[in-house]
Amino acid sequence: MSFNMILFGPPGAGKGTQAGRLQEKLGIPQLSTGDMLRAAVAEGTELGKQAAEIMERGDLVSDEIILGMISERIEKPDCEKGYMLDGFPRTIGQAEALDDMLRVSGRSLDYVINLKVDNEELKKRIAGRAQEAIDAGKEPRKDDNAETFAKRLESYNAQTLPVLGYYEERAAEGVLHHVDGMQEIDTVTADIEAIING
Ligand code: AMP
């Protein structure tokens, strides 16, 4: 079985948590553009230097950078059986480019899972994630503070939410599924698995 899926939702919805749990169960890798960017920042590459400031502001990194990264990544052998996109696409331009990439490689987009979580809960989760890092003696993510979170949510509403409309318009293909992301982590995972196992 080979399939491609998108985990969609606002910052703090649990995309990364769910993708991490699902990659073993489903046998396809989690491709997180946020993780790729943070790795580039940590390595101090040219791309990382360009991205760091943008990420700290809570803005979106340019489509050009993101598409260069993702198009290279999906060519890797571990993506042969499919992949799970976490945090991509975040703009209509990225969604259109993904369609093109899939078409060129003769692949399809099989599931778009929209994790629904209300804003108050998102705020709580991001603050909780920062505190957890501090408690563990680690440095929290530079964008996991109240101010940057507000900006990330703004970027989501302005640039990323329209992507949901993009997939809603293609309802006939049956790829878009909504999952209540306010539930327990295990329940959310089970709901996603149920969608995929049909
Ligand atoms: P995330 O780990 O998905 O929350 O992403 C952290 C930050 O990386 C975002 O706030 C953006 O600045 C940047 N980023 C991650 N993925 C993308 C993307 N697909 N398009 C633009 N910027 C992105």
pLDDT tens string, the chain, 198 residues long: the values are 689 999 999 999 999 999 999 999 999 999 999 999 999 999 999 999 999 999 999 999 999 999 999 999 999 999 999 999 999 999 999 999 999 999 999 999 999 999 999 999 999 999 999 999 999 999 999 999 999 999 999 999 999 999 999 999 988 889 999 999 999 999 999 999 999 998
Choose among 153, 169, 145, 148: nearest CA to 95.
169
Instruction: Give, using CA atoms, the residue closest to atom 2 of ligand 1.
Output: 34
Tokens of 149: 């979170």
Unique residue bearing structure tokens 């149920």: 194
Helix boundaries (H) for 60-139: 63-73, 92-104, 119-135
Instruction: Give, using CA atoms, the residue closest to atom 1 of ligand 1.
Output: 34
Give the Cα separation of 86 and 104 in Å (integer): 21
Tell me the whole-structure pTM to 2 decimals: 0.96
Q: How far is the CA of 198 from the centre of ligand 1 (A)?
A: 30
Q: How far is the CA of 59 from the centre of ligand 1 (A)?
A: 8
Unique residue bearing structure tokens 């969604």: 95
Ligand 1 pocket (Cβ < 6 Å) reads 11, 33-34, 37, 54-55, 58-61, 66, 87-88, 90, 94, 143, 152
Q: How far is the CA of 33 from the centre of ligand 1 (A)?
A: 6
The alpha carbon dihedral of 179, 182, 184, 185 has a sign of positive
The catalytic residue positions are: 15, 90, 129, 141, 152
**Radius of gyration (Cα) for the chain, nearest Å?**
16
